[in-house]
Structure 1
Amino acid sequence: METGDRDWARYWRAPESSIEVMRAHFETHRYHRHSHETYSFGVTETGAQTFTCRGARRTSAAGMVMAFNPDDPHDGHAADELGFTYSIVHIPAAAVTESLDDRRGRHTGSPLFAEPVLHDRAAADALRKLSAAVTGGQRLAVDEARDAAISALGRCTPLRTTLALDDENRPRPRRRDAGIVRVRDLLRAEYAREIGADELAAAAGCSRFALYRAFMADVGMSPGDYQRQLRLRSARQLLAEGLSPARAAADTGFTDQAHLTRWFGRCYGITPARYRAAAFNGAAEPSGRPRALPA
């Protein structure tokens, strides 16, 4: 990962759970545009970070909460040379949907947070407690802190709802151009294979240039970035299952381990080796001196 000497990151994965927490301080690291299959909720502790999401530039300063829906493309970097410190929690979509539907008393599909930056102290405190619970490693404490955090987030902002979740537990859009659907399906089915722009254009039934514009407008990233995102997600899952970074790279279409490591760091802020260590040992070794996680 290409970062400065004072950048550091640490990662945890809750035992017997797919909830993950990262705490980091970045001054020079810049996130490449990416998304997660989970809901991702961050709390900025010091400094400020700037990112683009849902067609606008956003800033999260100390005490603010970031709320990313599944498949919400975003990037991010420090707002100034002093950098920022933050923690972010990744929660599976099904868990958020179940918790909010239970509170609302209806089952209408996956809720979407309307605003990516929230000003709510209770939600920030609840996310801090969830982060602390994950680092503590007690399953019941994690489950209770997760439900409390989701409830606090649901109370502080309006929610929109998709019609349903697709077969991979991601929000399914209400409408989508048939050509874009075919391209997305092709990339999902064969993400590890080298696919050219002409093949994608043929699947979409339009020119390469028309496909690029339509795909960017619909998905929020280019077909190439989307394919790389699918490869990264698959590699992430393989690493969590115990595969080595070299094997995960080979199985998901990356040129080699170095290629995977470079893009994993650009999009996730941590190396594949440290992520794998977190999946098995509870916490990855930090790349610098970590500060105490707030309780």
Structure 2
Amino acid sequence: MTAGRDWVRYWRDPGRPLEAMAAHFERHVYHRHSHDAYSFGVTEEGAQAFSCRGAAHTSAAGMVMAFNPDDPHDGRAADALGFTYRIVHIGPDLIRALLADVTGGAAALPLFARPVVHDPVLARALRRLHSALLGGADTLRRDEELAAAVAAMVRRSATRGLSAPSPAADADRTAAQVRELLHERMPADITLDELAKGRSRFAVYRDFRARYGMAPSDYLRQLRLRAARALLAAGVPPAEAAGRVGFADQSHLTRWFGRYYGITPAGYARGRASVASPR
């Protein structure tokens, strides 16, 4: 969608009530409306003015917006420069399931009393989730960021919060079992539900991170990169290696290979680092 300098990017989960949008609006004005989902947004640039719950609000750069299901609101640019924002819509049933997973039992739906919150921690959590959704991240990464963002929003901003269960005595065993399953399934994609196997997804994520110092999705990526190194050393071309270890394509492998090892896959295959030519 474009109108003048307005632009929109949209993403929708085919199997769950989960949607995400990034947009820049200078001319577009939202008519008063509501959603059947929770909506969490972050204003990136400019300022968005809107009315909600009988009051006027402004969300400037860095601020978080939180709308409950069926919260009527409108929206427009606060000035001629417009605003850029990202927003995630999460269905109540999915929110309830995620919170039940955190608490280890039935969880009441949260209520957000303030439509605008200034909290950099929440903003970062929502940006990570949004980037995972629109950026084509693996299913496991999307699940992790979704659980983390919802837990952060409820703990830090909701009037009805939640309490995390006390650490389980078998946390190390749980982490080891998850690690074993990641090795078994690599390079295939895997969901947090599959790793949990009926346990709390939040607890599995927490225990694994505490034991191995990284999220399960980071660990899986590391396994893929290690496998790619072995294939490259054996003479397999980078494009083929990328596909065999679970990366989307060669550029995807190259990007992460460089971040982890400071060298391109081709440079590694040649047995020397890629260095800039002297001036």
Q: Report the TM-score, using the length of structure 2 for normalisation.
A: 0.54
Q: Does 2:18 match 1:19?
A: yes
Name 2:147's counterpart in structure 1: 147
Q: Deviations over 1:227-264 (max 9, x none)?
A: xxxxxxxxxxxxxxxxxxxxxxxxxxxxxxxxxxxxxx
Q: Distance in 2 between matches of 1:23 and 1:147?
A: 20
State the one-letter code of the partner of 1:43: V
Determine the structure 2 residue equivalent to 1:260.
Answer: none
Q: Is the 8 A contact 2:110 2:154 kept in 1?
A: no
1:127 is paired with a residue whose SS is: helix
Change in CA separation of 1:160 and 1:9 when aligned onto 2, cut-off 3 Å: same
**2: distance between equivalents of 1:65 and 1:38?**
16
- Which residue identity is paired with 2:154? G
Aligned match of 1:109: 108
Aligned to 2:29: 30
1:153 match: secondary structure: helix
Which letter maps to 2:41? G
- Residues 164-208 of structure 1 show CA distances to partners (whole Å, capped at 9, x for unaligned) of xxxxxxxxxxxxxxxxxxxxxxxxxxxxxxxxxxxxxxxxxxxxx
Residue 95 of structure 1 deviates from its aligned partner by 1.7
Equivalent residues of 2:39, 2:89 under 8 A apart: yes
> Could you tell me the TM-score, scaled by structure 1's length?
0.51
Distance 2:103 2:149 in 1: 15
| Mean CA deviation greater in 151-160 or 110-119 | 151-160
Corresponding residue for residue 95 of structure 2: 96
In structure 1, stretches of 5+ residues that fail to align are 162-295
Which structure has the larger Rg over C-alpha atoms? 2
Relative to structure 1, the CA distance from residue 160 to residue 99 in structure 2 (aligned partners, 3 Å threshold; closer, same or farther) is same
SS at match of 1:131: helix
- For the 8 Å contact 1:15–1:139, the answer to whether it is kept is no
Distance 1:15 1:140 in 2: 16
Q: Distance in 1 between matches of 2:143 and 2:67?
A: 20
Q: Secondary structure at the match of 1:149?
A: helix
Structure 2, unpaired ranges of 5+: 162-279
Q: CA distance change for structure 1 residues 100 and 127 in 2, over 3 Å: closer, same or farther?
A: same
Residue equivalent to 1:59: 58
User: Following TM superposition, by how much is the alpha carbon of 1:66 offset from its aligned partner in structure 2, in angstroms?
Assistant: 0.3
Bigger relative contact order, structure 1 or 2 (CA pairs below 8 A, ≥6 apart): 1
Q: Distance in 2 between matches of 1:69 and 1:116?
A: 9
Residue correspondences, number? 160
The equivalent of 2:119 in structure 1 is 120
Question: In the alignment, what sits opposite 1:157?
Answer: 157
Partner of 2:180: none
Secondary structure at the aligned position of 2:32 is classed as: strand
Distance in 2 (alpha carbons) for counterparts of 1:126 and 1:30: 27
Q: CA deviation at 1:101?
A: 4.0
Per the alignment, in what secondary structure is the counterpart of residue 107 of structure 1? Answer: coil
Task: Kindly provide the CA deviation profile for residues 264-288 of structure 1, in whole angstroms up to 9, marking residues without a partner as x.
Answer: xxxxxxxxxxxxxxxxxxxxxxxxx
